[in-house]
Amino acid sequence: MFATGVTIVTARAADGHLVGLTANSFNSVSLNPPLVLWSLARIAASMAALSAGSHYAINVLAADQQALAEQFAARGVDRWAGVSHVPGVAGAPLLVGAVASFECFNRSRYEEGDHVIFVGQVERCTHRAGAAPLLYHGGRFFTEHPL
């Protein structure tokens, strides 16, 4: 029952293939140095690539990107099919149309319960002024604040 924004975490694996997943476990940790966190289930197929990689991007989705959130949450599909993206400074894909993107150095990881908490040091952040974010609350997506 906690309303959150919706993000897609993206990276380029060591072998060059793109990795991406929908996550709403995103939060600020520190302003100095700029640190953010997100978490991933230990059993996730992308765990090896995200743990080993030096960089990833956290893309905050816009209100009109619900279909993208659902695509990157689906199993057994090509999550990158039809997705517009550009490479970030360290190679992690940045999703076109996102409200904001945080390009992060994979600073540290902490195993807690059945998840791993990733802490990223933000190396570059960009945002789109005036764009409304996609929200998630009570198992549903919202494009406006749920009343």
The predicted-structure confidence for 25-57, as pLDDT tens digits, reads as follows 999 999 999 999 999 999 999 999 999 999 999
Q: CB–CB of 69/6 below 8 Å?
A: yes
Domain spans, the chain: 4-142
From the CB of residue 73, how many other CB atoms can be counted at a distance below 10 Å? 15
The predicted-structure confidence for 80-112, as pLDDT tens digits, reads as follows 999 999 999 999 999 999 999 999 999 999 999
Report the share of the chain in percent with pLDDT over 90.
Answer: 88
DSSP track, 7-54: EEEEEE-TTS-EEEEEE---EEEETTTTEEEEEEETT-TTHHHHHH-S
Taking domain 4-142, whether its CATH number is 1.10.443.10 is answered by: no
What's residue 3's pLDDT?
A: 86
The DSSP call for residue 131 is P
pLDDT at residue 146 is higher than 80: no
What's residue 1's pLDDT?
A: 75
Quickly state the pLDDT bin for 130 (edges 50, 70, 90).
Answer: confident
Q: Please give the torsion angle defined by the CA atoms of residues 36, 136, 1 and 42, in that order, rounded to the nearest 10 degrees.
A: -50
Task: Report pTM.
Answer: 0.94
